[in-house]
Chain A
Amino acid sequence: MIGVQNLSVSFGAVQALRGVSFQAQTGSITAVLGANGAGKTTLLRTISGLIKPASGDVTFDEKTITNEPTEDIARMGVAHVPEGRGVIAEFTVEENLRLGALASKVNIAEGLERQYAQFPVLGQRRKQFAATLSGGERQMLAMGRALIANPKVLLLDEPSLGLAPLVTAELMGTIKQLCAEQSLTVLLVEQNAKSALRIADHAVVLHVGAVVADDAAAAVAADTRLRQYYLGLNEQ
């Protein structure tokens, strides 16, 4: 379980988060939705310790981790796949995956096998440089690299960005499956609200740094006002 209480973050005069609070339950997917600039990326970066908040707290399994360094938060089992995926283009697929395993106690060979079984395309391309991968393959590599260390929490920042609708649908299916199998706590940041709401259990909607909705995914999906004003979903 991961949560934030009254979290506020500022960049100079810009207040990116204004007293954000919510909880994400273990073994469920929580979608974090909102328009561009709503503060979604800032929220994830603050959770993983890359940004220190002006006030408020981040808690992970009842433990306050607000002031822990990013490396330690990662080692506790919070895996963050950043916006743009963060694949190291100069590394091979396998080197990227190995890097993900180094800070944990998992057996690297076993971990690699597991990820190659989950994402067969990575196995086929294990010696290729990540620079040669397609967008969808990169997203799989980034997820595999995060999952290889057996995390408890998975933070995904716009995984569907730049992917074709079919690839996105497949990716969402994988996320749903992984969450169930490994009882992960998933925070799924998306601008693509439709895809995210399809697999999410719960949804939080951000608007200019503040929470405007925090409810079951189905309820958010059914709320006409939310759909229209904050999620950009047309009634058709």
Chain B
Amino acid sequence: MIASIFASRILNDLLGGITAGVVIGLVALSLVLIWQSTHVLNFAQGAMAMFATYIGMTQLDHHLNYWVCALISVAAGFVLGGATERVLVRPLYGKADINPIVVMVGFLSLLEAIAAAIWSGTPRFIDPPFSSIFFQSDGAPTGLSPFALFQIIAAISVMAATALLFRFTKLGLQLRASALAPEVARLLGVRVNRLLTLGWALSTAVGAVAAVIISTGDTGLYPANMETVFIAGFIAAAIGGLESPGGALLAGVVIGVVMQFVNDYFNSGYAGFVGVILLIVSLLIRPQGLFTKNAQRRV
């Protein structure tokens, strides 16, 4: 009896952790996409995704369907990402590391403040399109709800689609070439500048998918609602290796599960610190990231 309650609690945490983890993985993927193409760590990524989600989800006020609003959010992310690359990031290529960091940190606080100015800081709750009541198994909740299942499937689909795009399409080949060897790509007629813009647009659209998922349900949509998951996503990306999308996803799930267990068995106040410690330990073991193949990385 006791054992079964215990087992059910572990299962609950595991499933809850995976649900949170795939979203962390999405955020990490979005960071990796930008890092690979432009070697900028986008500190404003969470805020940009949040802002795009506001643009889409406030259309619920005009009686638009949830899915239409979600689509608008992702499209807004795409446009915002591309515009950001053109206006803010392009002048920074080739500058010292600190310049893009400072600009993106400034953009982060600017976007959060603008969102609060337009839509107020009070959370806005968005009804999930599927029930968020846990499935039952033998009369006990499983830690997995229809909405959570949707969340997992959506996140994995986005990641798979991104991987396919990069691996098997002409566009993907050009995107990878622009990231790996921009000068060679230009000599072959690839319009590298456009592709960098597209890279930012795609990445921010992926981030917006994560933000839509996070804002739906009990967390709510508010200007700072991506901060925690952004940090977790960064940690996942750094642990998995900023060069490795698959590694980022896996690390995201691991972090999601670990934090869920910390929340449940200790205290949610420690989750952030556990994340930092995970990051430190993994960097000490393997500074190039746990899942990168090539040993050399410019850190």
B173 interface residue (CB < 8 Å to A): yes
* A72-B170 Cα distance, complex, nearest whole Å: 19
* A95-B174 Cα distance, complex, nearest whole Å: 10
Closest-by-CB residue of B relative to A108 is B170
Q: Is the CB of A86 within 8 A of B186?
A: no
Q: Is the CB of B186 within 8 A of A50?
A: yes
Q: Is the CB of B189 within 8 A of A88?
A: no
Given contacts A91-B177, A95-B173, A82 and B191 within 8 Å (CB-CB): no
A70 interface residue (CB < 8 Å to B): yes
Q: Is the CB of B184 within 8 A of A71?
A: no
Q: Which of A58-66, A98-106, A191-199 contacts B (4 or more CB under 8 A)?
A: A98-106
Which residues of chain B from 165 to 206 have a CB within 8 Å of any chain A CB? 170, 173-174, 176-177, 180-181, 183-192
A75 interface residue (CB < 8 Å to B): yes
Given contacts A88-B177, A98-B173, A99-B177, A71 and B183 within 8 Å (CB-CB): no
Choose among B176, B180, B191 the residue that contacts A71 (Cβ–Cβ < 8 A): B191
Q: CB-CB < 8 A to B192: which residues of A? A: 71
Choose among A50, A69, A90, A103 the residue that contacts B188 (Cβ–Cβ < 8 A): A103
A207 interface residue (CB < 8 Å to B): no
Annotate A49-84 by CB proximity to B: 1 below 8 A, 0 otherwise.
Answer: 010000000000000000001111011000110100
Q: CB-CB < 8 A to B183: which residues of A? A: 50, 82, 86
Chain A nearest CB, measured from B92 CB (Å) = 20
Q: Is the CB of A102 within 8 A of B188?
A: yes
Q: Is the CB of B186 within 8 A of A99?
A: no
Q: Is the CB of B173 within 8 A of A99?
A: yes
Q: Is the CB of B174 within 8 A of A102?
A: yes
Q: CB-CB < 8 A to B177: which residues of A? A: 88, 91, 99
A18 interface residue (CB < 8 Å to B): no
Choose among B173, B176, B180, B188 the residue that contacts A145 (Cβ–Cβ < 8 A): B188
Interface size class of B (residues with CB under 8 A): 10 to 19
Q: Is the CB of A86 within 8 A of B181?
A: yes
Q: Is the CB of A86 within 8 A of B187?
A: yes
Q: CB-CB < 8 A to A146: which residues of B? A: 188
Chain B nearest CB, measured from A51 CB (Å) = 11
Q: Is the CB of B184 within 8 A of A149?
A: no
Chain A nearest CB, measured from B241 CB (Å) = 14
Given contacts A71-B189, A75-B189, A103-B189, A86 and B184 within 8 Å (CB-CB): yes
Q: Is the CB of B190 within 8 A of A80?
A: no
* A102-B181 Cα distance, complex, nearest whole Å: 16
Q: CB-CB < 8 A to B188: which residues of A? A: 74, 99-100, 102-103, 145-146, 149
A48 interface residue (CB < 8 Å to B): yes
* A95-B191 Cα distance, complex, nearest whole Å: 17
* A95-B175 Cα distance, complex, nearest whole Å: 12
Q: Is the CB of A103 within 8 A of B187?
A: no
Q: CB-CB < 8 A to B190: which residues of A? A: 71, 99, 102-103
A50-B187, A102-B174 given; 20 more Cβ-contact pairs under 8 Å: A50-B183, A69-B186, A71-B192, A72-B189, A74-B189, A82-B183, A88-B177, A88-B180, A88-B181, A88-B184, A90-B176, A91-B173, A91-B177, A99-B173, A99-B188, A99-B190, A102-B170, A145-B188, A146-B188, A149-B188
25 chain-A/chain-B pairs, Cβ below 8 angstroms: A50-B183, A50-B186, A70-B186, A71-B186, A71-B189, A74-B186, A75-B189, A79-B187, A80-B187, A82-B184, A82-B187, A88-B177, A88-B181, A90-B180, A91-B176, A91-B180, A98-B173, A99-B185, A99-B188, A100-B188, A102-B174, A102-B190, A103-B190, A104-B189, A146-B188
Q: 8 closest Cβ contacts across the A-B interface?
A: A103-B189, A74-B189, A86-B184, A70-B186, A75-B189, A80-B187, A71-B191, A88-B181
